[in-house]
Amino acid sequence: MKRNEYTALLENHDWSYQMSDDPKAYQRGREERERLVALAEGNPELAKLLQRYRR
């Protein structure tokens, strides 16, 4: 995956999904986070980006 594509995914991710009262929003956010982590595994550049956005 290209850096700019991954950055767009990070920017559009709901980083506050864990605060949601809506179970569907929580589930969607958790699945999306898992996908972001999986994409970053084995790619140091994407892993750095993920760490920046997690903060």
Digit-coded pLDDT (tens) for 14-50: 999 999 999 999 999 999 999 999 999 999 999 999 9
**In terms of pTM, does the model score above 0.75?**
yes
Q: Is the pLDDT of residue 55 over 80?
A: no
- The CA distance from 34 to 28, in Å, is 10
Residue 2: pLDDT band by 50, 70, 90 thresholds?
very high
Single-letter residue type at 29: G
Domain region containing 32: 3-54
Q: Are 49 and 6 in contact (CB under 8 A)?
A: yes
Domain count along the chain: 1
Query: What is the predicted pLDDT for the residue at 9?
Result: 97
Please classify residue 50 by burial: count the beta carbons closer than 10 Å to its beta carbon, then call 0-12 exposed, 13-18 middle and 19+ buried.
Answer: buried
